[in-house]
Homo-oligomer: A and B are copies of this chain.
Amino acid sequence: MDVNHYLELVRKNQPLVHHITNWVTIYDCAQVVKSFGASPVMAHAAEESADMALISSSLVLNIGTLTPELIESMNSAVLCANKRGIPVLLDVCGAGATGFRDRMCFKLIDETRIDIIKGNASEVARIAGADVRTKGVDSGDVSGDLVKIATGLAVERDCTVIITGKDDIITDGKKCITVSNGHELMSHVVGTGCMAASVAGTFAAVDPGNIVEASAAGLCCLGIAAELAVSLGNGPGSFKGFLFDAIYSLDRAHVDKMKRTGECAVTIL
């Protein structure tokens, strides 16, 4: 996987990435996309979400602060995105915490085409059918092999599945890439999971035919930038500013030197 190739493609193509997302990390989702040189837009009214999808290169959905109105708006944006063939990513943020979130996720996945399902371990396990509990939006304990869970869901739903964590897992059921960049401090910063979704959606926009590699490249860049940011800062507050700085000036040399990616065997159950 040529991470630098994808980084340069994002900077050159500057894709417009449409978000219907949550109110907690909405700024960070926008800024992380912009720091990579792409154009974020956040438009959640049902009256315009499809029109915005019409001029965008990918669509990122996040159910962090979900309401029924947002689901309606997501639905019409996805239908437009599906027609145009642009990648749609769903961050199943908080799945496993309440029944409402689970139902709304299943509704979207059942009724429209979601190209990428992304979450932390317990969120994705819940969508894969496991009886797990998510602690709000923080991952709960998941027993079982995460690669198997991701692969199984990818095959079942014919999509790419991303589990973020210490090692990120990205698979479409045929190929499976792991990304080990990043830092433990990220789990103390609100929004790192949401930003990972925005980054995967941004990179998928520039190579919709190879979503696994493109989104893995994006997560690798984010993880490397996070490592650089941790080395400059002194905790979860100063980290965020340095993260955007590091993304903005990320270069080939850093990527080549620091990237820690791998492939792992896909086991279909």
Contacts and interface: CB of A to CB of B under 8 A. Distances in A.
A47 B100 contact: yes
A255 to B, nearest CB: 17
A51 B248 contact: no
Copies of this chain, count? 3
B94 A65 contact: no
A25 B24 contact: no
Contacts of A23: 23, 26, 42
A40 B24 CA distance: 11
B18 A136 contact: yes
Given A52-B97, A100-B47, A190-B27, A136 B41 contact: yes
Given A237-B243, A242-B237, A34 B100 contact: no
Contact of A65 (B25, B44, B242): B44
A137 interface: yes
A29 to B, nearest CB: 9
Contact of A48 (B25, B101, B135, B191): B101
A240 B243 contact: no
The 8 A-B pairs of least Cβ separation, nearest first, read: A237-B244, A41-B136, A235-B245, A237-B241, A48-B100, A51-B98, A48-B98, A238-B241
7 contacts: A34-B190, A35-B188, A48-B66, A233-B241, A234-B249, A237-B242, A238-B245
